[in-house]
Amino acid sequence: MRKVLSFLFVLLFLAGCSGMGQSESKMSESRDSAVEQAEGEMSVQDSDSSMKNEKANDEGRTSEGAGMETLAEERKVIYTAEIHLEVKDIGKAQKEFEGKASAYGGYIVESNANAHENQRSGTMTFRVPQEHFSSFISDAENAAARVANRHVSGQDVTEEYVDLEARLRSKKAVEGRLLKFMEDAEKTEDLLKISSDLSAVQEQIEQLQGRIKYLQNQTSYSTVTIFMEESPHVMAKSDLNLWQKIEKQFAVNINVLLSIMSGLIVMLIGNLPILFMLTFILALVWAALRRRRKGRNPSGAPIEQQPPN
């Protein structure tokens, strides 16, 4: 009887250990597949959401009025503009542009000015709210003496933005599952494995959030770069006094003389090979003529002319 009881006790003990092993194995497998399960579920949800978005876009194409305006407002577009302006005064123009940007809630990113002889130029880069993008450009062009060139471009990042949001939701779901498994874990090796997976997922979440914030900033504020060039200022002749007129005329004459002298020097130096060649040829001709003349009159005495009969 004791042997039978002992045998039954051993069987019950082995059955209990086997059940515990199976439960631990199932828990480990579920922990290892937590990331894949969460991502699979979120992929299905994202697919459904994508189908809904496509359906909404198709409906939006056929709708009119307020529906189209709402769809346009949901788009994420990065606008940039480059305008080349001719202004009367660089300093005044810079202050005016800064004031306009500040009034619209924008700010200046970069500013520089250069001076070349009597003409100045400069570059300014602004970030203005997207809703005031066109107004700021119009104000800048109206303040200029002449608009030389304007280039406006837009980059639609709506698809990337929606994809990032979907991936962020998926990663946060995985993070929640891993946190739940960490609370239920009992073994140290399981805690270390879950902690490592959790750190990797949280790092990916931070990267996605950073990219989303960047796109939000780029689409909320537009970039406007203004290239300025000061209009050439010509002083009227009536504004010059006697001494200024004399000084101006003297400078003009000096410039003319310098131009003539520099032209002669350039011509002489540049034509030296030709001059040397011509000099050499003339020297040969002169020497030949001289030898011929000596051959006709070796003594060098003058030839007497015979009187006519």
Q: What is the pLDDT of residue 290?
A: 84
Number of C-beta neighbours around residue 254 at 10 A: 10
Decide if 256 is inside a domain: no
**Which residues constitute the domain of residue 80?**
25-61+68-232
Q: What is the pLDDT of residue 114?
A: 86
- The sheet with strand 146-156 has its strands ordered as 107-116, 119-129, 221-230, 77-87, 146-156
Decide if 255 is inside a domain: no
Q: What is the pLDDT of residue 128?
A: 95
10-residue mean pLDDT series, the chain (309 residues) = 50 50 48 50 46 44 40 77 92 91 93 81 94 93 91 94 94 92 85 89 94 93 94 57 81 88 86 87 88 69 52
Q: What is the pLDDT of residue 41?
A: 47
Q: What is the pLDDT of residue 252?
A: 86
Taking only Cα atoms into account, the Rg of the chain, rounded to an integer number of angstroms, comes to 46
Locate the DSSP E strands across the chain.
77-87, 107-116, 119-129, 146-156, 221-230
Decide if 220 is inside a domain: yes
First to last CA, the chain: 189
Q: What is the pLDDT of residue 182?
A: 86
Q: What is the pLDDT of residue 168?
A: 95
Decide if 7 is inside a domain: no
Decide if 257 is inside a domain: no
Q: What is the pLDDT of residue 300?
A: 52
Count of domains for the chain? 1
Residue 148's contacts (CB-CB under 8 Å, 6 or more residues apart) are 84, 85, 86, 229
Decide if 30 is inside a domain: yes
Q: What is the pLDDT of residue 64?
A: 38
Q: What is the pLDDT of residue 230?
A: 87
Decide if 221 is inside a domain: yes
Decide if 196 is inside a domain: yes
